[in-house]
Amino acid sequence: MNKINKLAIIPVMLCFFAMGFVDLVGIASNYVKTDLNLSDSVANMLPSLVFFWFLIFSVPTGMLMNKIGQKKTVMLSLVITVASLLMPIFGESFTIMLVSFSLLGIGNALMQTSLNPLVQSVISGGNLASTLTFGQFVKAIASFLAPYIAMWGAISAIPTFGLGWRVLFPIYMVIGIVASLLLASTQIDDP
pLDDT tens-digit map of 8-64: 889 999 999 999 998 888 888 888 999 999 998 888 888 888 888 888 988 899 899
Of 1.20.1250.20, 2.40.50.140, 3.65.10.10, 1.20.810.10, the CATH number of 3-184 is 1.20.1250.20
SS3 of 173, please?
helix
Could you tell me the sign of the dihedral formed by the alpha carbons of 82, 87, 89, 92, in that order?
negative
Question: Does residue 160 contact residue 153 with C-beta atoms inside 8 Å?
Answer: yes
Does the pLDDT of residue 3 top 90, yes or no? no
* Residue 122 confidence (pLDDT): 85
Q: Report the percentage of the chain scoring pLDDT > 70.
A: 96
Residues 128 and 124: their CA atoms lie apart, in Å, by 6
Question: Does residue 62 contact residue 182 with C-beta atoms inside 8 Å?
Answer: no
Does the pLDDT of residue 191 top 70, yes or no? no
pLDDT classification of 5: cutoffs 50, 70, 90: low
Give the pLDDT confidence of 89-100 residue by residue, as tens digits.
998 899 999 999
